[in-house]
Structure 1
């Protein structure tokens, strides 16, 4: 028992020392290599996707570019971006493992994720849960999906809770594109997803013209920019950048650019931070 306690204590101290050693190092590494490593998504139009010419684009790609610009101003030299593609199922682990300096990947800010990664404040966007299905599918209320087969993406935080709440038969797929394709193929009656993705899909009338958002949004939650714990300087830089996005109306402009419906969250945050430094 004493030996076990000593081993556990040593492991805890080692972890603490490792975390402390990270403090203040991320900014130095970015400066040294002249590059920001960003975990970002390519399966979530218009926040992150590949354009027909192969370019990686989207609202969150614009935000990462803005971070690089601010770092360049800080270091007085150009800072490029290395993009590491993530999906819902691996984005948190990639941050934990240090595969990127920062994550901007349509990630909901919640208590479980805060236990393992540093989600900086303020949050930058928000979304809630809904169902997208064919217009002909008889879904009018949330109770109408009870016991039904719905497609979902692996790693979505709402899967377990909604399965319990509505006794759902969830068909989980590796990513957003796969879940969407399964819905179109008729392998489920609807896709349980967030309203931001659902609304953006419907912009593509050629592919999604027979579909619609079926249910009022529930459980609206904010999205956060994340990094590893242990570097207060870099976390502070990220926090200042997100604050500036709200203060300067950056997110309002990007919603317009990417043809997203203006959200109450972004408007409220712009008002809240318009006088912030």
Structure 2
């Protein structure tokens, strides 16, 4: 056997060993959670009402309520009290944080895409869904999607729609790391509108003091589901998350949380409840 072949064969063996080791390590996450008595959750605090801080600084919101439910399930499954450590993330770093092991689970208004499924293990059924729209001042002359062609819009870094919509509508996108920065740029007039998630836009417009002069300009399109995720190979924790998501839809928990947080009932949540309560 030539030296080149021996080196190539060794590289393959090493690669396989590392892959197996990585999977085993990910599968041991549940043991680590039990050992430390805590699950670490990457979650949003800039996306009211799904994740934000109340006046005292406490992290709250619809997704935080679902993480609390996960905490209860883990306490029962592991036979000891489990706490939650919450790590705030933004669209630009949420997937990387989970990949790097900075958290055990990711629930952060993340759209489920094939590209993200290659990086992390996304739970099914999906727990929520939203689509894309444009929020702008009421006086802005936008009546149909083609009206934004060639215009400058604000958006968030890491949003799945950025590249596609930039190409499709020949947009000039100003992408910001955080939602707050993107919204401030909109109010400062640096863009004619915000290319954004319809659920986020609707929640912002409830604040009449800040957003009273703004409105959703276009009908929602490209509605896609949101994914709760763990690391690849983390099958035990994945099973607990899957059972939880099924139960949320079956019992109508997310239906009730939409009411709690003043969210207009969505077809996705209603349809998923009807689907799973019949099983």
Bucket of the pairwise TM-score, normalised by the shorter protein: over 0.9
State the alpha-carbon separation in 1 of the partners of residues 217 and 11 from structure 2. 51
State the distance in 2 between where 1:20 and 1:216 align.
43
Q: CA deviation at 1:240?
A: 0.2
2:96 matched to 1:93? yes
Aligned to 2:68: 65
Which whole-Å deviations, capped at 9, do the CAs of 1:58-107 have from their partners, x for residues lacking one? 11011101100111122233211000111000000011001111000000
Say which of 16, 25, 33 aligns to 1:13. 16
3-state SS of paired residue (1:161): helix
Query: Which of residues 222, 227, 232 is equivalent to 1:229?
Result: 232
**Which of 251, 256, 261 is equivalent to 1:253?**
256
Partner of 1:268: 271
Change (3 A) 1:255 1:4: farther
| Alignment-derived partner of residue 150 in structure 2 | 147
**2:111 counterpart (108, 111, 116):** 108
Give CA deviations for 1:163-183 in whole Å, capped at 9, x if unaligned: 000000001111111101100
Query: Structure 1 stretches of 5 or more lacking a match?
Result: none
Consecutive unaligned residues of structure 2, counting only runs of 5 or more, are none
**Deviation (angstroms), 1:13:** 1.0
Aligned to 1:184: 187
Aligned position for 1:124: 127
The two structures, once aligned, show a CA RMSD in angstroms of 1.3
TM superposition shift of 1:11: 4.5
Identify the residue that residue 30 of structure 2 maps to in structure 1: 27
Alpha-carbon distance between aligned partners in 2 of 1:87 and 1:115, rounded to the nearest angstrom: 20
Per-residue deviation, 1:23: 5.3
Query: Does structure 1 residue 84 correspond to structure 2 residue 87?
Result: yes
Of the structure 1 ranges 13-22 and 45-54, higher mean CA displacement relative to structure 2 is found in 13-22
* In structure 2, C-alpha distance between the alignment counterparts of 1:96 and 1:44, rounded to whole Å: 22
Distance 1:46 1:2, change over 3 A: same
Residue 7 of structure 1 deviates from its aligned partner by 5.6
Superposed CA deviations along residues 239-262 of structure 1, whole A, max 9, x for unmatched, are 000101101111001000110000
Aligned with 2:174 (options 167, 171, 174): 171
Equivalent pairs, count:
276
Q: Which of 195, 208, 220 matches 1:217?
A: 220
Q: How far 1:10 sits from its partner (Å)?
A: 3.7
TM normalised by structure 2 equals 0.96
- Following TM superposition, the consecutive aligned residue runs of length 4 or more in structure 1 with deviations greater than 6 angstroms are none
Q: TM-score, normalised by structure 1?
A: 0.96
Partner of 1:156: 159
- Structure-1 separation of matches of 2:156 and 2:112: 17
Q: Does 1:238 align with 2:241?
A: yes
Q: What is the match of residue 207 of structure 2?
A: 204
Matched residues in 2 for 1:122 and 1:52: separation?
Answer: 33
Residues 1:199 and 1:4: Cα distance change in structure 2 (over 3 Å): farther
Q: In 2, are the aligned partners of 1:23 and 1:233 still within 8 Å (CA)?
A: no
